[in-house]
Structure 1
Amino acid sequence: MQKIVKKVGEYYLDIYYPIGEFDETELPILYVLDGDAFASTISEAVKLQIRNSGKTGVNPMIIVGISYHNSDPFNKEKRFIDFTPTKIHEDNPVDFRFGMPKGGGINKFITTFIQIHQIIINDFSIDKGHVGILGHSLGGLCVLEFMLRDKLSFLTDFLAISPSLWWDNNEYFNKLDVFDKSKLSQKRVIISVGSNEGDMVELSNKAFKLVSSCNSIKACTYYIIEDENHMSVVFTVISRYLRWFSMSSEPLGGINIER
């Protein structure tokens, strides 16, 4: 995988793409939130597995890490702003998450994300029918929020790991209840969570049930990963997610709704 870096405003795009025989091929694109933490690892997993896609189930793709390039893999301040909607509820002082950063900048981030996508489609030959976004924790919440936004209809695949659905007293579910789920027609969604993640297991399962209830959705898959915690689960599911993203219609275990 070849790497190039582009700067868009305050963000860096860590772009990894296969070279050689794939130069003239329209490739799927997978955006990765928290790119500083995950994009390099995911690109290495792609690089090694596309050497024999027939066995690994992972096909060539372009990875675009959306990164901050600071000294820490996670920019806590910026990710809380970028990946979250504005709160409409008061924080509960007895909640162990009380005192988290205020957040609320997702709409501005969406505007930048649209600009980022335009840059990518101008610079690379991509398969516009196969555009995914992957995120973990707050990034997972962001992925599922993106699923509800008409402005982002160019996204086809939503890959959420341990989404922070507790944000703003679980307000995401109120949005999902009133969302016109017919807009999920031909979309694909995958959600996973580690079994050791407390209330996030129940919340992720609830999201899966609501999303998969849409009769027109192309695919919805859910995994509980046994004995994994909030961080270890990411590295456990990377290859599974890459196979899922590569294969447009094959179930891969877990709980699947495929249409």
Structure 2
Amino acid sequence: MKMGSPMRKYLISSWMACTGMALLAAGAPAAAQPATGAADATAANPVVLPQTQEIAMRSKAGLDYRIFVYVPATPPPPSGFPIIYVVDGNAWFTPMAHMMRLMANKLSGISPAIVVGIGYPSDVPFNQLRRFYDFIPDMPLLEKVPPGYTPPKIGGGDQFLRFIREELEPDIERRFSVDKAKRTLFGHSLGCSFAFHVLFSDSGAFQNYVCASPSLHFNGDYILKESERFIKAAASKPVAATLLYAVAEYDEKLPPSIPPELAERMAAELKRASVVTSGRALNVRLQKVPGLKTTFLEIMGENHLSEVPVLINRMLPLVLAPDGKP
């Protein structure tokens, strides 16, 4: 595959968006939609995931969202279904919902749960401009933007959390039977930075937090600074939450398949992002937080994107064990 191909450009921009080169991808033009291929492809019926539906929502702030919902086919328990909220829903709702549909049974020891993906209009897996705004709290943009790229707008993180808590959750709870005591927030990469921001600023917003591979040094180490305030406050006010935090082997070293022409640049950015090394250090500090049950995973053989299906399989028994038992 040549460097100029749409797929190679997409893979590169996705990887850069997950590490210190995120701003380059965010400021770049939106990715073009792929061609349909065969002449009769447009006439084919789309593949539909059973037990799912889509809800269009516009927030009070005037932002449009695609809300993807999976509901188990079984009757809800008396307390309602546990629920998992997934940011970057265009990318991660389908694998989460599909594994829930397959694994929620007595043999797996996993309770059926509702899955809610919070996505954006269009079929692009990652809407870089929207996620930069939604996932980062109100602060100046400190990262340098490469020449020729428009700086992304950031600072909507708390507004996005209010949308989830005050608009989305009540709407979902009106439509479906939900156990409010068993709610999980799932985020990956910049979405994990958002999940950490929620945990560190309002730990009671969810009972479980599952996230993977944030660049902790992005934009002036703001996540690390928030973690220090959280840890200090927890010494006098214990939290009550569960955290599953994962990183991938190739978050911090070059994967074997990386093209030689990208290797030098990628190596520098991976070192700067320090996803694994900084993640280990943060985990050590979080393990000491009273009331926070923390599990840290280093997923070997996987890269920044391929780790997510593995993490989904690991998380479901943890957050959906019957009667809350791990």
Change (3 A) 1:105 1:93: closer
SS in structure 1 of the partner of residue 55 of structure 2: strand
Where does residue 232 of structure 1 map in the other structure? 306
Where does residue 86 of structure 1 map in the other structure? 138
Q: 2:294 aligns with which of 198, 207, 220?
A: 220
Where does residue 21 of structure 2 map in the other structure? none
Where does residue 126 of structure 1 map in the other structure? 178
1:5 and 2:63 aligned: no
SS in structure 1 of the partner of residue 251 of structure 2: coil
**Residues 111-190 of structure 1 aligned to structure 2 (within 5 Å):** 111-114=162-165, 115-150=167-202, 153-179=204-230, 180-181=233-234, 185-190=239-244
2: distance between equivalents of 1:190 and 1:46? 17
State the 1:167 CA deviation. 2.0
Where does residue 47 of structure 1 map in the other structure? 101
- Residues 87, 102 of structure 1: 8 Å contact kept: no
- Residues 141, 154 of structure 2: 8 Å contact kept: no
- Residues 143, 218 of structure 2: 8 Å contact kept: no
2: distance between equivalents of 1:130 and 1:92? 40
State the 1:173 CA deviation. 1.3
Give the structure-1-normalised TM-score.
0.85
- Residues 181, 207 of structure 2: 8 Å contact kept: yes
Please, which moves more after superposition, 85-94 or 231-240? 85-94
Give the structure-2-normalised TM-score.
0.69
2: distance between equivalents of 1:158 and 1:202? 21
Amino acid at match of 1:186: A
1:211 and 2:260 aligned: no
- Residues 145, 151 of structure 2: 8 Å contact kept: no
State the 1:234 CA deviation. 0.7
State the 1:202 CA deviation. 1.4
- Residues 56, 65 of structure 2: 8 Å contact kept: yes
**Structure 2: unaligned runs, 5 residues or longer:** 1-49, 59-63, 253-273
2: distance between equivalents of 1:227 and 1:27? 34
State the 1:23 CA deviation. 7.3
Aligned length: 243
State the 1:149 CA deviation. 2.8
- Residues 128, 154 of structure 1: 8 Å contact kept: no
Percent of counterpart pairs with the same letter? Answer: 25
1: distance between equivalents of 2:118 and 2:155? 18
Runs of 4+ deviating beyond 6 Å? none
Where does residue 104 of structure 1 map in the other structure? 155
Q: Which protein has the bigger strand share?
A: 1
Q: RMSD of aligned C-alpha atoms?
A: 2.3
2: distance between equivalents of 1:215 and 1:20? 37
